[in-house]
């Protein structure tokens, strides 16, 4: 099926301190991380900050909601994005995005979108063109009308489409055969060491083999924390891979 555009809206963004952004109005999310170097955006699960090339003329942002992954990344036939990224985004409550600039405050209710978890495709267009336009306007000392007409030369597109819920991993439980094998190995070792076989035999076996287990993992480049017990799943893997099915020590 052809991807369907379900809704869109374009707005002129008010910038402040070199950025603007948008956010889920009713979400609980961390702030986007600080910008490093020449990053053009930063994002958290419910907010995005965009760092445009120009503040004047003001950039535009177009929000789009699709029913699935759009088939291409172009805004029109002759316009290709200069930057692109695809984070995920969560929308809560009644589903409303607000525009934000640090200095100018927030503009709520800019785009309505149903609550859910989305893929977000961020695209930045005409950044180099906007920078050249800004230099030209400054050099000619252009009037306010020309600056206003140039708004939106730098364009950003935020495309949303549903992201499937991440599956919850099911805990791995050993089969009866694997459990019996593990117990047999531990009991054989305990008998050889003269240790009574009781509920704590497994702990004793693990403690006695701790150095071997650590060395085996380190030989594969996998460090084990030197403090506390070795995680059970790592002990189980050591037993499964070092000892043959009928093996005993």
Highest mean pLDDT (candidates 99-103, 106-110, 182-186, 243-247): 106-110
Cα(95)–Cα(14) distance, rounded to whole angstroms? Answer: 22
Q: Judge residue 95's burial from the number of C-beta atoms within 10 Å of its C-beta, 0-12 exposed, 13-18 middle, 19 or more buried.
A: middle
| For residues 195-218, average pLDDT | 63
Q: Which of 129-143, 160-174, 227-241 is predicted with the least confidence, judged by mean pLDDT?
A: 227-241
Query: So what's the pLDDT on residue 59?
Result: 92
* Confidence grade of residue 247 (pLDDT, cut at 50, 70, 90): very low
Q: Are the C-beta atoms of 11 and 110 separated by less than 8 Å?
A: yes
Fold of 5-162: Substrate Binding Domain Of DNAk; Chain A, domain 1 (2.60.34)
Cα(246)–Cα(176) distance, rounded to whole angstroms? Answer: 15
* Confidence grade of residue 249 (pLDDT, cut at 50, 70, 90): very low
pTM: 0.64
User: Which of the pair, 100 or 228, is modelled with greater confidence?
Assistant: 100
Q: Are the C-beta atoms of 75 and 123 separated by less than 8 Å?
A: yes
The full set of domain ranges for the chain reads: 5-162, 176-242
Query: So what's the pLDDT on residue 245?
Result: 43
> C-alpha distances in angstroms, 39 versus 8, 19, 33, 240?
26, 11, 11, 46
């Amino acid at each position: 099926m052809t991807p369907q555009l379900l809704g869109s809206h374009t707005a002129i963004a008010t910038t402040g301190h070199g950025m603007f952004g948008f956010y889920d109005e009713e979400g609980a999310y961390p702030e986007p991380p600080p910008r490093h170097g020449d990053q053009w955006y930063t994002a958290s699960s419910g907010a995005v900050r965009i760092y445009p090339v120009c503040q004047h003329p003001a950039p535009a942002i177009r929000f789009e909601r699709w029913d699935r992954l759009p088939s291409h990344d172009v805004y029109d036939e002759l316009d290709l994005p200069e930057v692109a990224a695809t984070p995920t985004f969560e929308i809560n409550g009644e589903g409303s995005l607000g525009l934000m600039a640090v200095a100018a405050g927030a503009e709520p209710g800019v785009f309505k979108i149903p609550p859910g978890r989305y893929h977000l495709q961020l695209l930045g267009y005409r950044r180099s063109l906007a920078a050249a336009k800004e230099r030209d306007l400054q050099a000619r000392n252009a009037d306010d009308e020309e600056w206003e007409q140039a708004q939106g030369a730098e364009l950003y597109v935020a495309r949303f489409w549903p992201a499937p819920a991440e599956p919850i991993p099911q805990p791995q439980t050993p089969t009866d055969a694997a459990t019996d094998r593990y117990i047999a190995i531990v009991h054989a070792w305990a008998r050889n060491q003269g240790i009574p076989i009781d509920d704590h035999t497994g702990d004793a076996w693990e403690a006695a083999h701790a150095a071997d287990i650590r060395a085996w993992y380190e030989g594969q480049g996998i460090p084990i924390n030197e403090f506390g017990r070795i995680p059970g799943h790592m002990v189980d893997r050591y037993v499964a891979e070092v000892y043959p099915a009928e093996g005993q020590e």
